[in-house]
Amino acid sequence: MPKRPDLREFVLVKRTMEQVNMDSATNGISSSPPPQAKKPKEDAAKVDLEYFNSYDDINIHKLMLQDKPRTDAYEKAILDNSDVFKGKIVMDVGAGTGILSLFCKKAGAKKVYAVEASPFASLLKEIVELNDEEGVIEVIHGKAEEIDLPQQVDIIVSEWMGFYLLHESMLDSLIKAREKHLQDDGVMFPSHARIYCAAVQMDDYMEDNVSYWQNVYGFNMLPVATRVLENKLSGGQPEVQNLKDSQLISVPSVFTEYDLRWVQLDEVKSLSDKKFVSITRDGKFHGVAIWFDCDFKPMFYDEEVSEKFKAVKLCTGPSAPPTHWKQTVIVVPRDDADVEKDEVVGWEITMQQSENNPRHYQLCLSLLDPELDEHPVPCECKMARCALFAALMQKEDDDLEEVPNIEDVSS
């Protein structure tokens, strides 16, 4: 029986992606960016309607609530730092069932605006009525970036992250809501986000999609495998899977990082990163995995508050307990996938918000030639020039640390 994808995955990747087909994430392998699909730009209101209607689904909210690493991280970040919330005005961007608003109220917030744009807002109202006799939480049905509030807020909490962090583009709304509603010295929960990537080996996937076709009742049907991979790549669906840590064949490296208090819209529209990495064991280079971490570690102007703050991290990588985000893999079909320990491989990944449907990104992976293509500086690979440069930089850092400070000199 075919495996049924999880619901958030089903609704947010499959249904929406199939409808816009080529205009969704393009899991392409090319030396140049993929051509933009020649489809008319979708009506923004229609895209939003479809998106918000997909959140009027109880199972999606249950899936998120039952994602323990996710919900526990928010609970811990808010309740272990209740001093930060006491007496404060909070906005919950995309409140859903209201779980984060309820945590904030429990932590002692004076007022929580629970803003939800989907029709689920009516259930949210009922949940809040049941759990908030004191009337701390005010439910607002609308888009956080469009509604008006009677006052600026001290804290914005939000669970806005999609697959590979950016899918759904809710970060755009968060940035606009922050600019409109957050006090100058306000803080964001979470405060930072980081996208990682690493080379991966995908034996089960290759077995299922390629090797199987090599011998079907004794007949070689490999052309089907080629078609399967071609369809997958041009059809625009990267693989969303829970990988094991042992499937990574390079040390994870940072693709990009955001300080959510300051990140601007243009920094999330189009991203690109060139990487050369050293392979950590003999194996097969089947693709590049992408995932993200979030930190709850805001910067406070008050040093005492900063010192007392208990930082929390939400990790969605292969070495962390699985979450509903899993990892996104761009598969790299090649005849010879064999790689050796210490061999250097390179790639460039671009993520571009789709012009036709800004809720989606086009992901594009181009393989690079470590001998011919220029390496970034600094570079994480162990090729002689990059390793030498890294050693020099390290020495410079060490030397700087050894410079005595002014007090030492005077004593």
By annotation, the residues acting in catalysis are 159, 168
Chain centroid to CA 231: how far?
25
Nearer to ligand SAH, 100 or 206 (CB): 100
With binding defined as CB under 6 A, does residue 116 bind ligand SAH? Answer: yes
* Sole binder of ligand SAH in the list 47, 78, 170, 199 (CB under 6 A): 170
With binding defined as CB under 6 A, does residue 118 bind ligand SAH? Answer: yes
Nearer to ligand SAH, 17 or 99 (CB): 99
How many residues in the shown chain lie near ligand SAH by CB under 6 A?
22
Q: In whole angstroms, what is the distance from residue 69 CA to residue 312 CA?
A: 11
Which range touches ligand SAH (CB under 6 A), out of 139-147, 283-291, 310-318, 358-366?
Answer: 139-147
Q: In whole angstroms, what is the distance from residue 127 CA to residue 6 CA?
A: 25
Minimum Å gap between C-beta 68 and ligand SAH is: 12
* Sole binder of ligand SAH in the list 12, 13, 29, 64 (CB under 6 A): 64
DSSP per-residue codes, 160-222: --BTTBTTT-HHHHHHHHHHHHEEEEEEEES-EEEEEEEEE--HHHHHHHTGGGG-BTTB--H
With binding defined as CB under 6 A, does residue 114 bind ligand SAH? Answer: no
CA terminus-to-terminus distance, the chain = 77
8 Å CB contact between 368 and 333 = no
Q: In whole angstroms, what is the distance from residue 350 CA to residue 340 CA?
A: 26
Tell me the residue number closest to ligand SAH, measured at CB: 94
Minimum Å gap between C-beta 5 and ligand SAH is: 18
Nearer to ligand SAH, 180 or 284 (CB): 180
Backbone angles phi, psi at 152, to 5 degrees: -75, 155
Residues near 108 by beta carbon (within 8 Å), at least 6 away in sequence: 82, 85, 86, 87, 88
With binding defined as CB under 6 A, does residue 55 bind ligand SAH? Answer: yes
With binding defined as CB under 6 A, does residue 94 bind ligand SAH? Answer: yes
Minimum Å gap between C-beta 65 and ligand SAH is: 6
* Sole binder of ligand SAH in the list 117, 155, 187, 294 (CB under 6 A): 117
8 Å CB contact between 200 and 246 = no
Q: In whole angstroms, what is the distance from residue 335 CA to residue 345 CA?
A: 16
Minimum Å gap between C-beta 146 and ligand SAH is: 8
Q: How many CB atoms lie within 10 A of CB 321?
A: 10
Q: Match 């947010």 to its residue by tokens.
A: 12
With binding defined as CB under 6 A, does residue 100 bind ligand SAH? Answer: yes
* Sole binder of ligand SAH in the list 14, 143, 261, 297 (CB under 6 A): 143
Q: Which two tokens stand for residue 257?
A: 């990082």
With binding defined as CB under 6 A, does residue 99 bind ligand SAH? Answer: yes
Nearer to ligand SAH, 132 or 159 (CB): 159
By the criterion CB under 6 A, which residues form the site for ligand SAH? Answer: 52, 55, 64-65, 93-97, 99-100, 115-118, 120, 143-145, 159, 170, 173
